[in-house]
Structure 1
Amino acid sequence: MMKPFQPTDAKDILIKGLNVWYGPVHAVKGIDLNIPSGRVTAILGANGAGKSSTLKAIVGSVKYSGTIILGNESIDALPVHMRVKKGIVLCPEGRGIFYQMTVKENLLAGAYTNRRPDFDFVFDIFPFLKERLNQIAGTLSGGEQQMLAIARALMANPKYLLLDEPSLGLAPIVIEKITEVIKHINDSLKITIVLVEQNTSVALSIAHYGYVLENGRVALSGNAKELRDNPVVREKYLGGVKK
């Protein structure tokens, strides 16, 4: 087994007064977040709460106001590809793979900033991909496509992996596998995870800390246990059951 890269110089991400607009729609309304390095931070909430827009702002794919600080450095002026070089990589909602390309071509697309693509590294995490390199990505199952999307993001050697709804549309047994993969990426590879999820139960089983967004604002925040025990979270997002 090849020894994976170790992002030992990762720093916290601090977000201050983040606003995202889509024309007249104010999607994110002046939120403050602290994303500690080496941990899993969940961003929770219903559809339209501003979760995905927050991730897109961090990676630089939408215009925003406010400040995003990596360590002691503002990254507001950096375009997407420069943020990727700093280790900030997004695995988008809906997988976003290239369906007409092969598995190998998808992985190479994720490694475009990496001069030495490490296939063996992702094969250690997703062994099935080694046997599917020449398969057209669109012919994979939904769960396999999601794993390919995560593997493609890992090909960029991220220090910060932003995952947008990785469990969306997947069967429970596949969600369990994805959950194990995310834990491994954080626990063993020491990659900071920012996890956007509507599946609050799944998210809080992985996360160390979380934020609940409502209508573009932070409604609640706390460590995972505090959020699981919060009666508002239980009622609105966990079906009223203490988990």
Structure 2
Amino acid sequence: MNKDIKDITIKGLNVWYGPVHAVKGIDLNVPAGSITTILGANGAGKSSTLKAIAGGLNYTGTIMIGDESINDLPVYKRVRNGVVLCPEGRGIFYQMTVKENLLAGAYTTKNTNLDLVFDIFPFIKDRLNQIAGTLSGGEQQMLAIARALMANPKYLMLDEPSLGLAPIIIQKIVEVIKQINESLKITVILVEQNTSVALSIAHYAYVFENGKVALSGKASELVGNPIIQEKYLGGVRK
């Protein structure tokens, strides 16, 4: 995979849905090679931020990779530049086979990463001809991540990958995210409502409230923040 990665910098990002101001002028920096997590309640603007980075909705403000703005790039060109979103709800093609889903992920690149996917998700090799909708919830989430990897990302955005999964499967997803970041040197932007999981693997964290950045810093430091403890981790630890 291409290891030529740079910081992603967002300045003054605004997203509107009609009269609703969902993201309100946020500034955000994702260091190259990091796992950066975005935390917050439903409606805080987390998913909208990822979609803006991916180019999937209209926004104002500036999104940069290194020193270059990507504002004018459509979705497919952002993907070709290594910006790949694995959406909330998995978004797999349920009536297609596992292999067809994977190949759909490689649509914008000449190189297929099937061997890489098999290394990370060994079960997929034996399920290539299985209809994706017949996989378990955890397997579907892993397929969604695998499909995103087929696009050869430099920057992988994961939107609620643990949503609705059993704890044992969540742990597997966590291990996969760490492997993607550490072994493949892919920068990860992780949106998660499972705050303890997110902070356990992230290097940096942003907490969104009502479309604004309420807190930010190193994840290891935010774990002990009383506000994080009270609002997102079920009370202050003794």
| TM-score, length basis structure 2 | 0.99
1:144 aligns with 2:131: no
In 2, the alpha carbon distance for the partners of 1:133 and 1:61 equals: 29
In 2, the alpha carbon distance for the partners of 1:104 and 1:239 equals: 41
User: Contact conserved, 1:186 with 1:193, CA < 8 A, in 2?
Assistant: yes
In 2, the alpha carbon distance for the partners of 1:228 and 1:242 equals: 10
Match of 1:133 in 2: 128
Out of 50, 54, 63, the residue aligned to residue 49 of structure 2 is 54
SS at match of 1:229: coil
1:97 aligns with 2:75: no
State how many pairs are aligned.
238
In 1, the alpha carbon distance for the partners of 2:199 and 2:84 equals: 22
Identity %: 78
In 2, the alpha carbon distance for the partners of 1:220 and 1:110 equals: 34
Deviations, residues 157-198 of structure 1 (Å, cap 9, x unaligned): 000000000000000000000000000000111000000000
Structure 2 stretches of 5 or more lacking a match?
none
Match of 1:188 in 2: 183
Following superposition, the deviation at residue 241 of structure 1 comes to 4.1
1:107 aligns with 2:107: no
User: Contact conserved, 2:103 with 2:150, CA < 8 A, in 1?
Assistant: yes
Match of 2:237 in 1: 242
| Matched AA of 2:91 | G
CA RMSD of aligned residues (A): 0.9
Match of 2:158 in 1: 163
Q: Tell me whether 114-123 or 81-90 shows the greater mean CA deviation.
A: 114-123
Following superposition, the deviation at residue 242 of structure 1 comes to 3.4
| TM-score, length basis structure 1 | 0.97
Runs (4 or more) in structure 1 with deviation over 4 Å come to: none
Match of 2:170 in 1: 175
Deviations, residues 8-49 of structure 1 (Å, cap 9, x unaligned): 210100000000000011000000000011000000000000
